[in-house]
Amino acid sequence: MKTLSIIIIYILCFKSIILSQGAWTQKTDLGGVIRYDAVSFSIGTKGYIGTGWTVESGGYYLNDFWEWDQASGTWTQKADFGGINRDAAVGFSIGTKGYIGLGYFAPIQQKDFWEWDQVTNVWTPIADFAGVTRENSVGFSIGAKGYVGTGYNNGLLKDFWEYNPSTDRWTQKADFGGGERELAVGFSIGTKGYIGTGDSAGSDNITMGFWEYDPLIDTWTQKADFGGGPNGAAIGFSIDSMGYIGTGFSNPNIYRKDFWEYNPSTDTWIQKAAFGGTIRGFAVGLSIGTKGYIGTGYSNTTGSKNDFWEYDPSGVSGINEWQSNSHVTVYPNPFTDISTVKIETEAEPPFSFGIYNALGEKVQSLSNINNRIFALERNGMPAGIYIYYITDCHKNIIGTNKLIVIN
């Protein structure tokens, strides 16, 4: 009976850990070629990805445009983007219309903007962006207005603009409160907009600053710094009343896959289950209903991607599924006196390793681990079922599972 109680406690504890993190599920790869630096938005129950840069055939800019059907889990190619091919563009949606503009086609940045009609599948040019040409900006919508700001044009930018589709006019608003930057993240929650992270002055100045915009009073307010630390070229979206930021890079040589949830009511960040794909930056993110999506992207070790993943904030992964997503192997397991831990991931050391018992108490921990294979000693732990976790140098959880000690 005692053993059964411990097992029941373990199962409840384990499910609680997984539940708190959400779950990732791989979906059908994006149609077309692999790419990064694309643009995305959602309209109703459909998601959209287009433009970008592909390394195929020597590398070229893209203008294709694809629709994701959440219900059927399939991609359908739509009318090509109406403007010139480009990457590093920006997009948002208002009602049944999607908007794409700005970006880069060598050797210059762009400032044209286009409206796509979901009903007719037709692109129509709208008023050019009223600021200077640029790339690597952020965009989102609040109600019936679109917002675009920051970016790069022979220098970093901080200006911020509102687009009104009923008048086809751009109006300059208060400059972004966090100063000049590119490769930031932008999204909206309810009646507020948010911009954070990004490159504030070159690769040595990746930032974690995070700001809230209130369009009613045209004011920026600094909020809690992004919980994952300095990050550039990440993705962001919102689901219901929560915001999410994930992937990106800490510097151009260290890409990442950690994923965080922001609660505006408490101004706090909580780390969630790491993105289900490989490390990357320059990906796209969008949300449809209660699900979020990340796809495409690039890293210096894995190259360009066209995979596509769904995030369910309330999802619960089963034990087998959680094992298959882990990048850590412990063998033997069960063990009596000593076991071996093997880390099979691109994550950067030093690693930290911790073990919790069925009551949620930490019973053993190791830190500053620089080897990807190391010994784990029992060190007096009673026989039983435990949960271990391992984190990388950025405190991202790269593996967690059950650990069994026997006599």
- Summarised one tens digit per residue, pLDDT across range 253-303 is 889 999 999 999 999 999 898 899 999 999 999 999 999 999 999 999 889
CA–CA distance, 363 with 65 (Å, rounded to integer): 52
At residue 344 the predicted structure's pLDDT band, cuts being 50, 70 and 90, is confident
CA 84 vs CA 101, 125, 163, 169: distances in Å: 10, 12, 21, 22
Residues of the chain with CATH 2.120.10.80: 23-312
Least confident of 25-29, 71-75, 158-162, 320-324: 320-324
Residue 394's pLDDT is 82
pLDDT value at 1 more than 80: no
Widest Cα–Cα separation across the chain: 76
Tokens of 343: 């880390």
Specify the pLDDT at position 202. 58
pLDDT greater at residue 380 or residue 296: 296
> How many C-beta atoms lie closer than 10 Å to residue 304's C-beta?
21
Q: Where are the beta strands (DSSP E) in 265-372?
A: 268-272, 284-288, 291-299, 303-312, 328-331, 338-343, 351-356, 362-369
Model confidence at 326: pLDDT above 60: no
Do 280 and 270 touch, CB atoms closer than 8 A? no
Average pLDDT value over all residues in the chain: 90
pLDDT class for 314, splitting at 50, 70, 90? confident
370's tokens: 């620089």
For residue 16, pLDDT over 70 is answered with no
Strand-pairing partners, residue 369, are 351
Averaged pLDDT, 229-242: 96
* pLDDT tier for residue 8 given thresholds of 50, 70 and 90: very low
Q: Compute the CA torsion angle 12, 13, 17, 20 (nearest 10 deg).
A: 60
pLDDT band (50, 70, 90) for residue 204: low
Indicate whether 321 pLDDT > 50. Answer: no
Give the list of residues 6+ apart from residue 157 with CB closer than 8 angstroms, or none: 131, 132, 134, 137, 149, 150, 151, 180, 182
Q: What confidence tier does 15 reach under pLDDT thresholds 50, 70, 90?
A: very low
Q: What is the pLDDT of residue 393?
A: 87
pLDDT band at 18 (very low <50, low <70, confident <90, very high): very low
The per-residue pLDDT for 317 is 45
Residue 395's pLDDT band, with cuts at 50, 70 and 90, is confident
Rounded to an integer, what is the distance from CA 26 to the centroid of its chain? 14
Percent of the chain with pLDDT over 90: 72
Q: pLDDT at position 9, please?
A: 41
Confirm if 284 and 235 have CB atoms less than 8 A apart.
yes
User: 3.30.565.10, 2.60.40.10, 3.40.190.10, 2.60.40.1180: which CATH number matches 2-17+325-405?
Assistant: 2.60.40.10
End-to-end CA gap in the chain: 18
Share of the chain above pLDDT 70, in %: 92
The answer to whether the beta carbons of residues 247 and 212 sit under 8 Å apart is no
Q: Which of 1-10, 115-124, 312-321, 357-366 has the highest mean pLDDT?
A: 115-124
pLDDT higher than 50, residue 63: yes
- Cβ 381 vs Cβ 389: under 8 Å: no
Q: Residues 91-102: what's their mean pLDDT?
A: 98
Write the pLDDT tens digit of every residue in 146-175: 999 999 999 999 999 999 999 999 999 999
Residue 18 has φ and ψ, to the nearest 5°, of -65, -40
pLDDT reported for residue 20? 56
Region 345-362: mean pLDDT is: 84
The reply to whether CATH 2.30.40.10 applies to domain 23-312 is no
